[in-house]
C-alpha cells in the first residue's frame, strides 16, 4: 500500500469555476470560468509542501463520491498519474483516493480505477482548454501508483532543495 499525503482541494467536482488558493494569504480566488462547457471530473487541488516541474505545487485529482469545498484538506493515497503537458511544459496530474473512505479502498492502482472514469479524466484534460487562445494540452499516458508516489516525493524534495 502506498503512503498517505496531504492534499488541498481548490476546485470541487462538477465545477466550471477554476479557483486558485493564494499560498501567501490562504484566500481562494476565482481565476476564471472555463472557456468550454466542461466541468471538473473530480475534486482538483494540490499536494501541500510540494513543487511541481511547472513551478506550482503538484496537482492532484481526488476521487470522491461527494465534492468538497475549496480549501479543504484531505489525507489521500495516490493510485495513478496522468502524464501530460501543456503550453507551459510538463503538467502531470496525480489521481488519488481519500485514505479513510471505504467506498474507494478497493482502488489500489491505476488499473483499479474504472475504465470509464479514466476516459472521462483524459477527455476533460484533452479538451478543457480548447477555446482558450494560445493554450493546448497533450495527454501522454497513465502511470501507476508507484509512479505517482515517486512524483510526489520528487516534488517534496524539489521544494525542500529550494528552502
What DSSP designation does 64 have? -
Question: What is d(CA 54, CA 142) in angstroms, rounded to the nearest whole number?
Answer: 19
Q: Are 94 and 151 in contact (CB under 8 A)?
A: yes
C-alpha cell at 16: 466550471
Say whether 147 counts as a known binding-site residue.
Answer: no
Say whether 10 counts as a known binding-site residue.
Answer: yes
21 CB-side CA count, 13 A: 22
C-alpha cell at 95: 489521481
Say whether 18 counts as a known binding-site residue.
Answer: yes
Say whether 66 counts as a known binding-site residue.
Answer: no
C-alpha cell at 135: 493554450
Say whether 44 counts as a known binding-site residue.
Answer: yes
DSSP, collapsed to helix, strand or coil, labels residue 155 as helix
Residues paired with 46 in a beta bridge: 8, 59
What DSSP designation does 24 have? T
Q: Which of 43, 91, 92, 147 is catalytic?
A: 91
Say whether 91 counts as a known binding-site residue.
Answer: yes
Say whether 69 counts as a known binding-site residue.
Answer: no
| 91 tagged catalytic | yes
Q: Could you tell me which residues are annotated as the binding site?
A: 10, 18, 32, 44, 54, 59, 86, 91, 128
Active site residues: 91
Q: Could you tell me which residues are annotated as the binding site for Mg(2+)?
A: 10, 54, 59, 86, 91
Amino acid at each position: 500500500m502506498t503512503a498517505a499525503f496531504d492534499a488541498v482541494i481548490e476546485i470541487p467536482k462538477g465545477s466550471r469555476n477554476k479557483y486558485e488558493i493564494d499560498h501567501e494569504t490562504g484566500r481562494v480566488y476565482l481565476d476564471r470560468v472555463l472557456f468550454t462547457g466542461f466541468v471538473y471530473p473530480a475534486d482538483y487541488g494540490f499536494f501541500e509542501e510540494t513543487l511541481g516541474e511547472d513551478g506550482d505545487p503538484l496537482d492532484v485529482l481526488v476521487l470522491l463520491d461527494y465534492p468538497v469545498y475549496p480549501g479543504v484538506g484531505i489525507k489521500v493515497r495516490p493510485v495513478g498519474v496522468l502524464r501530460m503537458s501543456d503550453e507551459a511544459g510538463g503538467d502531470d496530474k496525480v489521481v488519488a483516493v481519500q485514505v479513510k473512505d471505504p467506498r474507494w479502498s478497493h482502488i489500489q492502482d491505476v488499473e483499479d480505477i474504472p475504465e470509464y472514469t479514466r476516459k472521462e479524466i483524459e477527455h476533460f484534460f484533452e479538451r478543457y482548454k480548447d477555446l482558450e487562445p494560445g493554450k493546448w494540452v497533450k495527454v501522454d499516458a497513465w502511470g501507476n501508483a508507484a509512479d505517482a508516489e515517486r512524483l510526489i516525493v520528487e516534488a517534496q524534495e524539489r521544494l525542500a532543495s529550494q528552502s
